[in-house]
Amino acid sequence: MATRYVFLPEAAQFPSSNFPALLKDGQSRYVLAFDASTDETCYWTAEAPSGLTGTLTALVKYRAASATSGTFLPVLAVEAITPADAIDTDSASSFDTDNTPSAATVPGTAGYIDEVTVTLTNKDSIAAGDYFRLRLFRDVSGDSATGDIEVLSVTLNDAA
């Protein structure tokens, strides 16, 4: 398993509405705080590296701000654009179907770190050299943790 990218909160990009807060905690760590009552979304953009092959997985590292029970459901999607693709990137997106894991049980102590692995079965035929975006949102209708879920990083791995 090769780590291809580690996406950090401070590099996230946000839509015009319904996005997580970018916060710095008491220890100067940045987190993306996803609300418990609204689906919130963020993105990361990169270029697919050479040698990108096989199964892609994303490892979402998170903590619950206050919850000590319940579940967290991160949903990820990939948008891969090859030069000369017929998409107006100034006005449209072309994300593949969402990748949804089983909801993860949050740690029994608020602030403790856990991680969820999401297999990116739907990866928009991503290939080396593609301009791509990774979209993450918290599916609040599919999870049950109260309060914010704070994402610390998303690591993209492949089978190479």
> Domain of 41?
2-158
Whole-model pTM: value is 0.95
Name the pLDDT band for 160 (thresholds 50, 70, 90).
low
What CATH number should be reported for the domain holding residue 141? 2.60.120.260
pLDDT tens per residue across span 34-58: 999 999 999 999 999 888 878 899 9
**Count of domains for the chain:** 1
Which one, of 88, 77, 86, 91, lies nearest residue 132 by Cα?
Answer: 77
Residue 105 pairs in a beta bridge with 71
